[in-house]
Amino acid sequence: MTDVLHPRPSPIIAAMYTLRDLDVDVIVMHGPPGCGFTASRLLEEAGVTVVTTGMQENDLIFGAEQRLVEVLKKVDEEFSPKLVGVVGTCASMIIGENLDAAIKKAGIRSTVLPIDIHACAGPNTVGAIKVLEVAASKGIIPNEEFERQKEMLMRATALERERGMTSKPYLKPHRGATKLKVAKRIIEYLSQNKRIAVVLNAKKETAYRFADVMRAIEYARRRIGGYVVYVANTDPNIGLPRIRRYSMDILRDLREAGVTVDYLSGGLDEYPVAGERAAKYLEDKGIDLRVLCGLPHAIPDLRVEDILVTDQPRELRNFIDSGFTFAVGEISTHSMLMGARGIVNSELGDTIRELVDEVQT
Amino acid sequence: MKQIAIYGKGGIGKSTISANVAAALGERGLNTWYIGCDPKADGSMTLLGGRKIETFLERLRSSPGENRPAYVEGFNGVKCIETGGPIAGVGCAGRGIIVAVQELYKRYFADNIDVIIYDVPGDVVCGGFAAPLREKFANEVYIVTSGEYLSLYAANNIVRGLENLRVNLGGLICNSREIRNEERIVSEFARKIGSHMISFIPRDPIVRECENRGKTVIEGAPESSQASAYRRLADAILKNSDLRIPKPIDPEEIRALLRENE
């Protein structure tokens, strides 16, 4: 395995996001106040209450079980939550804090999921798997759903290792091609009446923004002409209830924008396999230009002429260095989607619309 | 499955007792596992003819994905594992025990095991050393002590840990130092903390002689009275249903008890 030098997301943060996907009311971070701070703020914007036990030096030495017990009691009093997740951190897990015991001692009314995880535990997906495992053991999700998601998460890890951001020891951030260059290319194909395929292969909430590329291209098609096939991994019948809601929101907004999805390639948690299905579906469609949004590297046999739309600057570096000159970035996508319940405009989408409007007027 | 952990003051004879009990259980045909939790990894040597084995953590470090059996089979079919850990002055031994115990539980322990014995170093100290006390790992604890003040003091401290962690004590094992009234002292102390003395192991030079040959007494001197003492202890542990969460006492009470029995 390659030793990766650039920063990677940690299992702790993946655990927090997975708890959010399970619709927990409160996440208790059992650790020093700064642990998971950036993610906590974002998650609070998505409606999850995140609190910390605020461990200090003395708690490392003497143990912080009592702190956790008290915070849980306070959480119960203050928020009367139904479902609570207690997430370990490096500090608490290295000293062997017993989350289970503290939860029992607190004896609160809500269901509490103890997530024994820390950043040294491995790839970020380990944290997500841990949450799902605990949720299955407490009957929050069926065991088959746990197994399905675990399989997806393991495939996601393998995908990152093979073609993604852990495939190279160091990737220097890159902002990708300009939106203008990419938008012009799309409009050029439409005006030549060529066949475009837009594939949304996105991970959970990021789909709220990547789906806008579909809306913009449809907007352009209606004014300029051309032929477009739409493929999206927004199957509303797959995944946790929250993730299904995302799919329903997106399908509703696409419908309103006049986009008919020709093929549903899977659920929003299935991007490691949905990309393969999308590519297969498009095989015999005589497509001239593919616009691949979200996690394009999950689509097999990328071609240098493909348009790749993604959000991570290091992912962009990976694409640009591999010769994909039409790789374009929707930077900071994640942070602007917290709490979203509908498609959010993308920079590429806005550029396409603006160009089309200029041509029209 | 019986999952037991042996605690006690350093140097009191935990490993000798653990290994001999494991050998006695193996002799009865029980599927017995000995898990040495000391980073020195020397507890299982008498079960293995004096041999030192590759530790579990060392293997995890050099070949993380490997799934070959984690144990080395010792005398009487006892499956031996040494968790291992960092060398002195480096890393965190407590964390090592946590990782090893979790991995063993997840990957290797199956329903067909009759007894797992965790031989834990010293007193309960940090969360790592307490890991074998977590409910899914060990469900009963035995404390090895003698009639001397310091080992009773250490035992009392372990009792404090058990009370705090709400773990059952199966009883005290008196490993004799040939103190006057020793059996009475340990029995009385056991009663005071809300437990009982499950066995009295006499002091016998045969233990040292066997150890020098890299053997348990069960193997090296199977006909000896000392071997019988270990067999009796193994039986008592197997049959024991008197498990209780103990209560520590004031160390001054220990001293008073000792003065009364001088």
Among A58, A62, A65, A98, the strongest candidate for a mutation testing the B interface, having the largest count of B CBs within 10 A, is: A98
A94–B92 C-beta distance less than 8 A = yes
- For residue A360, the model assigns a pLDDT of 65
Distance CA A133, CA A22 (A): 12
A175 and A329 Cβ atoms separated by less than 8 Å:
yes
For all residues of chain A together, what is the average pLDDT?
96
Of chain B, the end-to-end C-alpha distance in Å amounts to 41
User: B12 or B130: whose pLDDT is higher?
Assistant: B12
Fill in the amino acid letter for A53: T
Tokens of A357: 């409007």
Interface of A with B (CB under 8 A): 63, 94-98, 100-101
In this prediction the ipTM stands at 0.81
Give the pLDDT band (50/70/90) at residue A2. Answer: low
A84 and A25 Cβ atoms separated by less than 8 Å:
yes
Please check the confidence at residue B111 and state whether its pLDDT lies above 90.
no
**Which DSSP category does A206 fall into?**
G
Give the pLDDT band (50/70/90) at residue B109. Answer: confident
Nearest CA in chain B to A93: B95
Its sign, for the CA torsion B95, B101, B104, B107, is negative
Give the pLDDT band (50/70/90) at residue A1. Answer: low
B166–A101 C-beta distance less than 8 A = yes
Its sign, for the CA torsion A231, A235, A239, A245, is positive
A95–B94 C-beta distance less than 8 A = yes
The catalytic residue among B2, B9, B192, B215 is: B9
What's the order of all strands across the beta sheet hosting A263-264?
A263-264, A227-232, A195-201, A289-294, A307-310, A327-329
Annotated active-site residue B14? The verdict is: yes
The catalytic residue among B40, B204, B235, B247 is: B40
A143-162 vs A124-137: helix axis angle to the nearest 10?
Answer: 180
> From residue B261, how far is each of A82, B64, B250 by CA, in Å?
58, 54, 18
Among B95, B133, B167, the strongest candidate for a mutation testing the A interface, having the largest count of A CBs within 10 A, is: B95
Tokens of B237: 């542990």
**Predicted confidence (pLDDT) per residue in A106-153, tens digit:** 999 999 999 999 999 999 999 999 999 999 999 999 999 999 999 999
| A to B CB pairs, distance under 8 Å | 23
The catalytic residue among B79, B123, B192, B215 is: B123
Q: Measuring CA to CA, which residue among A230, A277, A226 is closest to residue A255?
A: A230
Mean pLDDT of B139-155: 96
Annotated active-site residue B235? The verdict is: no
In sequence order, the 6+-apart residues with CB closer than 8 A to the CB of B142 are: B4, B5, B6, B7, B169, B170, B171, B172, B173, B198, B237
User: B137 or B12: whose pLDDT is higher?
Assistant: B12
Annotated active-site residue B239? The verdict is: no
Give the pLDDT band (50/70/90) at residue B125. Answer: confident
Distance CA B120, CA B132 (A): 8
Tokens of A164: 């993604």
Tokens 């029980």 map to which residue? Answer: B30
- For residue B165, the model assigns a pLDDT of 83
- For residue B154, the model assigns a pLDDT of 96
B165–A98 C-beta distance less than 8 A = yes
Q: Nearest 5°: CA angle at A214, between A211 and A219?
A: 135
A290 and A182 Cβ atoms separated by less than 8 Å:
no
B157 and B163 Cβ atoms separated by less than 8 Å:
no
For all residues of chain B together, what is the average pLDDT?
93
- For residue B242, the model assigns a pLDDT of 95
Give the pLDDT band (50/70/90) at residue B126. Answer: confident
Tokens 């949905």 map to which residue? Answer: A274
**Which DSSP category does A261 fall into?**
P
Please check the confidence at residue A97 and state whether its pLDDT lies above 90.
yes
Of chain A, the end-to-end C-alpha distance in Å amounts to 55
Annotated active-site residue B9? The verdict is: yes
Nearest CA in chain A to B164: A101
A118 and A12 Cβ atoms separated by less than 8 Å:
yes
Tokens 């088959």 map to which residue? Answer: A144
Q: Using CB atoms, pick whichever of A94, A97, A101 lies closest to residue B165.
A: A101
User: Given phi > 0 = left and psi -120 to 50 = alpha, else beta, which region is A323?
Assistant: left
A15 and A130 Cβ atoms separated by less than 8 Å:
yes
Please check the confidence at residue A337 and state whether its pLDDT lies above 60.
yes
**Predicted confidence (pLDDT) per residue in B62-100, tens digit:** 877 776 778 999 999 999 999 999 988 899 999 999 999
**Predicted confidence (pLDDT) per residue in A19-56, tens digit:** 999 999 999 999 999 999 999 999 999 899 999 999 99
**Predicted confidence (pLDDT) per residue in A338-355, tens digit:** 889 999 999 999 999 999
Please check the confidence at residue A165 and state whether its pLDDT lies above 80.
yes
A281 and A231 Cβ atoms separated by less than 8 Å:
yes
Among A61, A62, A94, A157, the strongest candidate for a mutation testing the B interface, having the largest count of B CBs within 10 A, is: A94
H-helix or E-strand containing A88? strand A83-88
Mean pLDDT of A184-211: 97
A97–B127 C-beta distance less than 8 A = yes
